[in-house]
Each structure stands twice: as C-alpha cells, then as structure tokens.
Structure 1
Amino acid sequence: MDHLLHLDRTLDELDPPHWAPPAADATGLVRKVHELRRVPLGALAPADLRTLVSQQVALPYVLPLAVRLLIEEPLLDAYFHEGDLMLATVNAPAPAWILFPDLRAQLRAAITALPEAAVARLPRGGAEDLARFVTPPEMPR
C-alpha cells in the first residue's frame, strides 16, 4: 500500500482503533500526540513527524512522510536541532522498516552522502546512530 496516498486522512482514520481523549492529567507530550492523530497527514509539519516517529506512533504512515522530507533535506531542523528528524527516524525500531526496504535504501544513500563535518555537528551519539542505520545487520550463522 502506498501510504502517501492518504494525505487527506488522519491517523485516527488510518491506524485504528480511534484514540480516546487523553486523561485530564496527561502530560503535554501525550496531549500533543493525541492531537496529532487528528491532523490530516498532509498537514503534519516536520516537528509533528519528529514527535510521532520518536514516540513510535503509526510508523507505517509517518515514516514515509519523514523519509520524503529527509531525502530532500537530510539534516532538517524539525524542532530541536539540525538533524533531529533524521535521528528520530533512524532510531525507529527495525521491524518498522520491513514494509519500506526502498525507503530505507534511499535514506541510507542520503546519510552516506552527508559530509563528515555535518555529521560531526550532530548531538552526542548522533554519528553512531547514523552509522548503525547505514550498516546492514550481520546475518546469523
């Protein structure tokens, strides 16, 4: 399924079940994620995608959107710092990428094309996160 065909629909529509409103004492992050599930996919900003990916919400729908942005601008500053969307995306759990081998390959290519100086400016651990994503896992013997 091409998950980019549903840009006019929300995660609550595409990723059942519909989430109930957050509890009255929910954190700001929980409230934000609940709110983002009611926004049409095409209206999600880079910061929204970073939040959803880092919280591992509806990854089959948000990973393709994030990768589409990252292919154009790998070190996009979505909210916190340069490369924050990239780091959230490469840290998505490995099973989330099973549906998207082509997107994963495109993202790997974008990462390997980054200048070393740009990678060195990432927050502590960022270069390692990118290297771990780019390096294929070893096959069990």
Structure 2
Amino acid sequence: MTRPLNRDRSPEELEDDRWPAPSGDATRLVATAHARRRKPIGELTVEDMRLLIGQNEGLPPALEVLRWIRATGP
C-alpha cells in the first residue's frame, strides 16, 4: 500500500533541500527551476514537471505526482 501524497508541500519541502535565492545574473531557466521547486506539487503543471525532470531537479516528488496521476487517472 502506498502512502498518501501530500500535494500541499513543495519539492524543496519534500526533499528537505532548501536552495538559496538565485543570483541576479541567473539565467531564466535557473530562476524558473528555483521557483518551481518552491511551488506545491499539487499545483505543478505538466510543463513544470517537464522542466524539473529535464533539469534532474525535484525528481522524486515529480515521480510521486506522476504515480498519483497514473493511479487516479481514467
């Protein structure tokens, strides 16, 4: 039996890995990845998950969301 998915917590919270704010000269991709890591996983869009997975960041929480979608889908 799988544990319930807490969709109110962000990848940062779930991984217990807080990043400092991106530097002023950070690329748009870096700034976006930082922002998505702070977003509750229940609010992540498919595009958000694609970005995180593509950057190999927040992967365990993103995979949990995908498992939840698969388990509760049509």
Fold match by TM threshold 0.5? yes
**Structure 1: 4+ residue segments shifted above 3 A:** none
Q: Which stretch of the first structure deviates more once superposed, 44-53 or 11-20?
A: 11-20
TM-score with structure 1 setting the length:
0.45
How many angstroms apart in 2 are the aligned matches of 1:59 and 1:8?
Answer: 17
Structure 1 residues 92-117: Cα deviation after superposition (integer angstroms, max 9, x where no partner): xxxxxxxxxxxxxxxxxxxxxxxxxx
Q: Which residue of 1 aligns with 2:33?
A: 33
Structure 1 position 15, deviation (Å): 1.2
Alignment RMSD: 2.2
TM-score with structure 2 setting the length:
0.80
Q: Determine what percentage of the aligned residue pairs are the same residue.
A: 36
Q: Which residue of 1 aligns with 2:18?
A: 18
Bigger CA radius of gyration? 1
Q: Which one scores higher on RCO, CA 8 angstroms, separation ≥ 6?
A: 2
Q: Which residue of 2 aligns with 1:63?
A: 63
How many angstroms apart in 1 are the aligned matches of 2:23 and 2:52?
Answer: 19
How many angstroms apart in 2 are the aligned matches of 1:64 and 1:21?
Answer: 25
Structure 1 position 20, deviation (Å): 0.5
Unaligned runs of 5+ in 2: none
Unaligned runs of 5+ in 1: 73-141
Q: Does structure 2 conserve the Cα–Cα contact (< 8 Å) formed by 1:46 and 1:66?
A: no
How many angstroms apart in 2 are the aligned matches of 1:37 and 1:58?
Answer: 7
